[in-house]
Structure 1
Amino acid sequence: MKRIFFVEDDLSLIGGLSFALQKQGYAVDNARTCLEAGQLWCDNVYDLVILDVSLPDGSGYDLCRTIRQTSKVPILFLTAADEETDVIMGLDIGGDDYITKPFKLAIFLSRINALLRRSDAFRQPDDALHSNGITVQQLTREVSKCGEAIELTAGEYKLLCLFMEHPNIVLSAEQIMGRLWDCEENYIDSSTLTVYIRRLRAKIEDEPSNPKRIVTVRRMGYKWNTAE
């Protein structure tokens, strides 16, 4: 079942569109604010994101930029902002489609179906990350260590991908939190990030107490180490 993340603050629109999407066979999670969206995005993996532009505590544009830092998930803007500059902005920062309110439900659902079809068609068959005995199959979101499957939470998976996509680069705690949970960069604190790091090390390191893959760089941050 495809999972859709719907970020919108209009309760009537949330109810109607969520019901319509569920009738089409999709699972739908809703968020009404940037804060809620950041928390859900951290804890889950989605096949498509629908973003309103104007939210009570921020902008859908900012959420789009954040998502694009770590994910290629299709993004559809759904908004009353119908100026040409608004449409261009949404597409230029990483949106895949843009629908302005009001709109017809049949067209909306057709756009959703088309985005998901294209997303499936253009995924690379070997869209994988390999490093230090760890393999991440991004197509299926499967993770293995030396050929043995590892079960990760959505947050741990995103954190691992971020590290593996930036080998031997020191990432500060602020950079990591900003890329994974950013809306205003304040959804989790450094203590929570430390917990995520510890849990991930426990699953991927040979000796979690003496990590060789995710190493701490004193007073600077963390690094995915590929050195022998």
Structure 2
Amino acid sequence: MIKIMIVEDDEVIASGLEYALQAEGFETVLCTSVSSGKQAIEQETFDLCLLDITLPDGTGYELCKRIREKSDAPVIFLTALEDEVNVVMGLDMGADDYITKPFRLRELISRIHSVLRRYQKPQEDLKGYTIGHIRINRQEAKVYKNNLEVALTALEYKLLLTFIQNEGQVLSRAQLLEGIWDVAGDFVNDNTLTVYIKRIRDKLEEDPQKPKIIKTVRGLGYKLGD
């Protein structure tokens, strides 16, 4: 599961962020100051960091600098400051994006997904990927079940890759639709997504009624295997 550190001292904003991100299937760790943020950085590994710039005991820039010393985890700044100098300063320090308060949670989540996609392993790394009795050759864009090729449509194949690229993460229906948007355009909506997942299960699962490859996580979405 993707772990996100939130550093925000406004209790209302912080609780809203935690709720929204957890609903998307992310694990969150909330800090309210530079000192608690630094402590979290030393103790845990994060896949992405959301940093408020103005904090009670310093600035998010200090945390960004420390994060960059330890890892290449993407950083998104949250701030009420609209001055262009602050935007440039944050980006120069290694931030990946910058969003000004007040913002819509849906917009922030979209930006998070966009940043995480840029940090994903190259598609070539998926060559030879296997899960159970299924093998995928990304270079040839072919899928095999028990060493026999399975014919998937372009949309089914892209949907399967979306699961693989987010292995271990619970994906909401909105995330899955976003992952296949460039293939599906307006032709797939929330209702028909269920049909495509069923088709993939019928083609790949040994027992589609008891799926082991694409599992349903009740109330949250779907995930790839265990």
TM-score, normalising length from structure 2?
Answer: 0.53
Residue 4 of structure 2 contacts residue 27 of structure 2 at CA under 8 Å; is this kept in 1?
Answer: yes
Partner deviation per Cα, 1:163-198 (whole Å, 9 max, x = no partner): xxxxxxxxxxxxxxxxxxxxxxxxxxxxxxxxxxxx
Aligned equivalent of 1:113: 113
Q: Which structure 2 residues correspond to residues 24-39 of structure 1 after superposition, within 5 A?
A: 24-39=24-39
Aligned equivalent of 2:94: 94
Change (3 A) 1:7 1:88: same
Aligned equivalent of 1:9: 9
**What is the rounded CA distance, in whole Å, between the counterparts of 1:45 and 1:62 in structure 2?**
17
Residue 38 of structure 2 contacts residue 66 of structure 2 at CA under 8 Å; is this kept in 1?
Answer: no
Q: Which structure 2 residues correspond to residues 170-185 of structure 1 after superposition, within 5 A?
A: none
**What is the rounded CA distance, in whole Å, between the counterparts of 1:65 and 1:35 in structure 2?**
13
Change (3 A) 1:122 1:102: farther
Between the aligned residues of both structures, percent identity stands at: 44
Code of the aligned partner of 2:17: L
Total equivalences in the alignment: 125
Q: Which 5+ residue runs of structure 2 have no aligned equivalent? A: 126-226
Change (3 A) 1:38 1:123: farther
**What is the rounded CA distance, in whole Å, between the counterparts of 2:105 and 2:19 in structure 1?**
11
Aligned equivalent of 1:78: 78
**What is the rounded CA distance, in whole Å, between the counterparts of 1:49 and 1:3 in structure 2?**
9
Residue 5 of structure 2 contacts residue 28 of structure 2 at CA under 8 Å; is this kept in 1?
Answer: yes
**What is the rounded CA distance, in whole Å, between the counterparts of 1:30 and 1:124 in structure 2?**
35
Residue 50 of structure 2 contacts residue 75 of structure 2 at CA under 8 Å; is this kept in 1?
Answer: yes
Aligned equivalent of 1:22: 22
1:41 paired with 2:15, answer no
Cα deviation, residue 103, structure 1: 1.0
Name the SS for the 1:109 alignment partner.
helix
Code of the aligned partner of 2:109: L
Code of the aligned partner of 2:41: W
Greater RCO structure (CA 8 Å; 6+ sep): 1
Cα deviation, residue 121, structure 1: 3.7
> Higher helix fraction: Structure 1 or Structure 2?
2
**What is the rounded CA distance, in whole Å, between the counterparts of 1:124 and 1:4 in structure 2?**
26
Change (3 A) 1:45 1:92: same
Aligned equivalent of 2:104: 104
**What is the rounded CA distance, in whole Å, between the counterparts of 1:59 and 1:34 in structure 2?**
7
**What is the rounded CA distance, in whole Å, between the counterparts of 1:82 and 1:65 in structure 2?**
21
Code of the aligned partner of 2:85: T
Please provide the CA RMSD for this pair: 1.6
Aligned equivalent of 2:63: 63
Change (3 A) 1:122 1:14: farther
Q: Which 5+ residue runs of structure 1 have no aligned equivalent? A: 126-228
Code of the aligned partner of 2:74: P
Change (3 A) 1:23 1:13: same
